[in-house]
Chains A and B, each alone.
Chain A
Amino acid sequence: MASKENNNVHPEHEHISSYKEHFGTWVGLILLTLMTVFVSAFGADLSTLTVVTALTIATIKALAVALYFMHLKYEPKVYRAWIIVVMALFLFFLTMVILDFTTR
């Protein structure tokens, strides 16, 4: 009953991404993957920064997927806010576990 008459249901304005945008994102992901392989397999000597580099590249790739392939860039701000909250929570979990491990 209420669902069809509901004043909280707004019409959605869907963004349709272009092939160019999808293709560009895909190329970017491939390049970043190649960079990860290069750092790992071809002996780029980054010493202690090896793990940091791999994680940074992985984070950028995940962001690209979330923003473009999963349309987060075109969704209402509230979704982005929730993603940020969840990522902040995840960061807190990691920080506390690492803090515990390093100070035992």
Chain B
Amino acid sequence: MTVAALSQPNFFQAKKGIASWLFTLDHKRIGLLYLYSIGFFFIVAAGLGVLMRLELLNPGRDLIDAQTYNQVFTLHGVIMIFLFIIPSIPAVFGNFALPLLLGTDDVAFPKLNLISWWLYVIGALFALFTLFYGDGPADTGWTFYAPYSVRTGTNVSMTVMAAFVLGFSSILTGLNFIVTIHRLKTPGMGFNQMPLFAWSLYATAWIQLLATPIIGITLLMIVAERVLGIGLFDPSIGGDPILYQHLFWIYSHPAVYIMALPAMGIVSEVIPTFAQRTIFGYKAIAYSSMAIAFVGYFVWGHHMFTSGMSGPAGFIFSILTFFVAIPTAVKVFNWVATLYKGSISIEVPLLFALAFIFNFSIGGLTGLVLGALATDVHVHDTHFVVAHFHYVMFGGAGFAFFGALHYWFPKIWGKMYNKAMANLAFILLFIGFNLTYFPMLIVGIMGMPRRYYDYLPEFHEMNMLSTFGSWIMITGLIIMIINLVVSKQRGAKVSGNPWNGITLDWQTSSPPPLHNFDKMPVLPEGGPYNYPDAISTHEEKEKKDDE
């Protein structure tokens, strides 16, 4: 693949000064602004997670009291969900890579893109502000369940407003991506020639656009009830607490796919690049993203099986939930089939993609236990649920985020990280992650409830293991961050296309110029993953081996 000669200054050199960053309209810079701000909040929330694990090292109080523990897990959840996972891949890598993948010079609405980032910052400041006044941050859990969220004296209203503002940021990003994909694809690129990461962002954007307003309205209803005393959710003033759960999960279950779908898109980019072969079942993967986004709207009730929701409603939601497994499994089988007979090079991004498949499969299969009415009753609100969603969110979306960071690192900065250190960080993260969360599946089945700072002695061993795992995981995380930060400054320079990728993002220099391409990118013949040297039959493989 010919890489365009560097004739324009790259996007770092094009303009200088802090103002040129804070008010930039360049999608690549906005992606990096998101990376730095999201990265900061991820580190804060990860620190809170480690603090919770330290408290749970032994039964009884070790470090913090029950009320502080409640506030810590709420803050951990709110930051991780609203400030990290939901915006993470779309806002950082969607912004950076989508126009490059589509062969265009920017997103459709650059100013709206900048406003999205500023709204993100304002929402984040709202969330941080809750730390410093009144009775401190909310203690409701990230779900803000009524009627407790209506009655508690902690700063629920401000936390809810933070989520409300962050929702607008998400909506505007989604709108921008939909229009970009419809209108700005390079000439000759139809929907079926589009890279799969773009497909996943497209499906995600529709969820962001259609589902997020529902949580916005619901959160405003909480504020209305707290401030004006309108009886919406509190039964003592005529409200219905289960209605709150319906409204909350109508958004928040599709939001799970806002987190998971872009991660699947990353895996779909990484695997063909490092297998150097055509992706198996392109259309199946592309359309399954849309199917997941669509079916994801119909399954919210599986979060409420034990909340007092009616039996018939639970029965319908349970059946519908199982349908989501089909398009998800389609993707997993296609990824594995892509690796078959590929010329695989085990690089760090591929390791993260494979870890995604492993972790996400555990997360998905444990999800079936929770989606079935009969088994959910036994494990609802236990550590089993905590482990399940961390396998999906962190083991899945989080690992894909790290994979994307290592995949596009040379494209963003034009330098390569220390691969030995990156491998070490990956191994520690993978082992640490599984050691942290697998014991939670076991204590969950044993009956240990979530959201308690204390537990019975029979859960002690597993909790110790889990806390040890968190130390290994955080060590891996620190090594990964130091490696990337140091490599950004001192890493060896690389060519525009160090991975031999054939999607359009690899046809420009690294870092890319301000307007992305010095010359019009050339679409690969036969689709975005049609590798010229790919081996498609066993005979071809034998022939190549003989040579």
Query: What would 17 A/B residue contacts be, using CB atoms closer than 8 Å?
Result: A1-B105, A2-B104, A3-B106, A3-B183, A6-B184, A6-B186, A8-B182, A8-B185, A86-B210, A96-B246, A96-B313, A97-B243, A97-B246, A100-B310, A101-B243, A102-B310, A104-B308
> Which residues of A have CB within 8 Å of B106?
3
* A2-B187, A7-B187 as given contacts; A100 in contact with B104, CB under 8 Å: no
Chain B residues within an 8 Å CB radius of A9:
183
Cβ proximity bits A1-21 to B, threshold 8 Å, 1 near / 0 not: 111011111000000000000
Q: Which of B66-74, B365-373, B515-523 is the contact stretch?
A: B515-523
Q: In the complex, what residues of A have CB within 8 A of residue B310's CB?
A: 99-104
A contact patch SS:
helix
Interchain nearest-CB distance for B134 vs A (Å): 34
Name the contact of A92 in the complex, choosing from B188, B210, B298, B520 (C-beta under 8 A): B298
In which size bucket is the chain B interface? 20 to 34
| Bitwise interface map of B from 277 to 298 toward A, beta carbon under 8 Å scored 1, else 0 | 0000000000000000000011
Q: Which of A1, A3, A89, A93 gathers the greatest number of chain B CB atoms within 10 Å?
A: A1
B242 at the A/B interface (Cβ < 8 Å)? yes
Could you say which residues of chain B place their CB within 8 Å of the CB of A86? 210
Q: Do A2 and B103 touch (CB < 8 A)?
A: yes
| A7 surroundings in chain B (CB, below 8 A) | 187-188
With CB as the reference atom, state the residue of chain B lying closest to A97.
Answer: B246
Shortest 8 CB-CB distances between A and B: which pairs?
A100-B313, A103-B310, A2-B104, A104-B310, A1-B105, A7-B187, A103-B312, A2-B186
A-binding residues in B (CB < 8 A): 102-106, 182-188, 210, 240, 242-243, 246, 250, 297-298, 301, 308-313, 316-317, 515-517, 520
Contact, CB under 8 Å: B183 / A6 = yes
Please measure, in the bound complex, the distance between the C-alpha atom of A99 and the C-alpha atom of B246, giving whole angstroms.
12
Which of A5, A92, A96: most chain B CB closer than 10 A?
A: A96
- On chain B, the residues within 8 Å of A8 by CB distance are 182-185
B181 nearest CB neighbor, chain A only: A8
A100's nearest neighbour on chain B, judged by CB, is: B313
Docked CA distance A62–B188 (Å): 39
Specify which chain B residues have a CB less than 8 angstroms from the CB of A3 in the assembled complex. Answer: 104-106, 183-184
Interface bracket on A: 20 to 34
Partner of B297, one of A6, A92, A100, A101: A92
Cα A7 to Cα B210 with chains together (Å): 28
Assembly CA distance A99 to B106 (angstroms) = 46
A8-B185, A92-B297, A97-B243 are contacts. A1–B309 as well, Cβ < 8 Å?
Answer: no
Q: Could you tell me the distance between the alpha carbons of A7 and B104 in the complex, rounded to whole angstroms?
A: 12
In the complex, chain A residues whose CB is within 8 Å of the CB of B187: 2, 5-7
Judge whether B312 and A1 touch: CB under 8 Å. no
Nearest CB in chain B to that of A92: its residue: B298
CA distance A90 to B444 in the complex (A): 35
Q: How far is the CA of A99 from the CA of B301 in the complex (A)?
A: 12
Assess the B515–A100 pair: CB atoms within 8 A: no
Contact of A99 among B298, B308, B313 (CB under 8 A): B313
B184 near A100 with CB under 8 A, answer no
Taking CB atoms and an 8 Å cut-off, the chain A residues in 53-102 that contact chain B are 86, 89, 92-93, 96-97, 99-102
The smallest C-beta distance from A92 to any residue of chain B, in angstroms, reads 7
CA of A41 to CA of B516 in the docked complex: distance in angstroms?
63
Cα distance, A74 to B349, chains bound together (Å): 48
C-alpha spacing A97/B186, complex, angstroms: 44
A93 to B215, CA, bound (A): 13
Given known A1-B105, A86-B210, A89-B297, contact A103–B183 (CB-CB < 8 A): no
Task: Determine the chain A residues whose CB is within 8 A of the CB of B246 once the complex forms.
Answer: 93, 96-97, 100
- Residues of chain B lying within 8 A (CB to CB) of residue A96: 246, 301, 313, 316-317
- B103 nearest CB neighbor, chain A only: A2
Per the bound structure, the CA–CA distance linking A63 and B246 in Å amounts to 27
Quick check: B309 and A104 within 8 Å, CB to CB?
yes
Task: With A8-B182, A97-B243, A100-B301 as known contacts, state yes or no: A1 contacts B520, CB within 8 Å.
Answer: yes
When chains A and B are docked, how far (Å) is the Cα of A46 from the Cα of B63? 64
Q: Tell me how far the C-beta of B60 lies from the nearest C-beta in chain A, rounded to whole angstroms.
A: 39
**In the complex with contacts A8-B183, A104-B308, A1-B515 CB distance below 8 A:** yes
